[in-house]
């Protein structure tokens, strides 16, 4: 059977741009490579797709190995296949971005052997990256910039309960521009997808803000009606 398919040495891999939002900054996870090629360079987390894995499964696995978490929000966004992108042969890489809730942890336990360590790095201050990972990152960032305007992905970067100021912050950092507080709140609440939890922020040394939750149910009911920023 298989002999019908033309073959040459080639393989495919997944690379992930894992975004997190913390201390008012948008960050991504980078690993320090432990192996050739690009040993000791910084790189996006990624790996070869297994024989019995779909692409999504492979991305999930990689994210799980990296963070210990399951059910991470992720989305495939582009495939990179330049002939010489990998020095050891033809490797086509399918890129995913993932969005993570950071609860304050600064580092994620690195489980794989292919990395020394994983670190969160502010997207505004990235080191030189291995392979074509700079390009992959840039396209991923562009992607979420577009997507956050119409899709409810900002919530994936926040804890389940969040304040409107925190939410506005995510938008401002990703869109890279200041938004008007009153207008932001008016518009955001007008979509009717936030549930007021009748609960206040804890442990702040000033007036506590109301906590909200993203209501998937209500969002689903919007159907076509698009959120738009």
Name which of 36 and 198 has its Cβ closer to its own copies: 36
112 binds its own copies (CB under 8 A): no
Q: What angle do CA 192, 73, 204 make, to 5 degrees?
A: 65
Contacting residue, 24, 40, 69, 87, with its own copies by CB under 8 A: 87
Query: What angle do the packed helices 181-190 and 164-175 form, to 10 degrees?
Result: 110
Task: Tell me the C-alpha to C-alpha distance, in Å, between residue 51 and each of 14, 55, 123, 127, 195.
Answer: 13, 10, 33, 33, 43
Query: Which region among 84-92, 113-121, 160-168, 209-217 touches its own copies (by CB under 8 A)?
Result: 84-92
CA distance 183 to 191: 13
Name which of 82 and 180 has its Cβ closer to DNA: 180
Name which of 111 and 222 has its Cβ closer to DNA: 222
91 binds its own copies (CB under 8 A): yes
204 binds DNA (CB under 7 A): yes
Question: Per CB under 7 A, which of residues 3..42 are in contact with DNA?
Answer: none
Query: Which region among 81-89, 101-109, 153-161, 175-183 touches DNA (by CB under 7 A)?
Result: 175-183
Residue ranges in contact with its own copies by CB under 8 A? 1-2, 4-12, 35-36, 48-49, 51-55, 76, 78-83, 87-92, 94
């Amino acid at each position: 059977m298989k002999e019908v398919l033309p073959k040459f040495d080639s393989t495919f891999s997944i690379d992930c741009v894992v975004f997190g939002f913390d201390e008012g900054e948008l960050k991504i996870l980078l690993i320090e490579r432990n192996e050739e090629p690009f040993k000791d360079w910084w790189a996006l987390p990624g790996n070869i797709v297994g024989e019995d894995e779909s692409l999504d499964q492979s991305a999930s696995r990689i994210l799980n190995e990296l963070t210990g978490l399951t059910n991470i929000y992720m989305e495939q966004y582009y495939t990179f296949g330049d002939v010489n992108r990998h020095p050891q042969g033809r490797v086509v890489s399918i890129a995913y971005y993932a969005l993570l809730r950071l609860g304050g942890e600064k580092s994620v336990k690195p489980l794989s052997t292919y990395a020394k360590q994983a670190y969160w790095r502010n997207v505004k201050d990235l080191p030189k990256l291995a392979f074509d990972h700079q390009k992959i990152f840039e396209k991923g960032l562009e992607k979420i910039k577009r997507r956050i305007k119409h899709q409810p992905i900002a919530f994936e970067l926040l804890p389940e309960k969040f304040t409107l100021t925190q939410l506005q912050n995510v938008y401002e950092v990703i869109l890279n521009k200041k938004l008007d507080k009153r207008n932001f709140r008016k518009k955001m609440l007008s979509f009717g997808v936030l549930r007021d939890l009748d609960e206040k922020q804890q442990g702040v040394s000033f007036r506590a803000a109301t906590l909200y939750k993203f209501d998937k149910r209500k969002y689903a009911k919007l159907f076509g009606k698009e959120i738009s920023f």
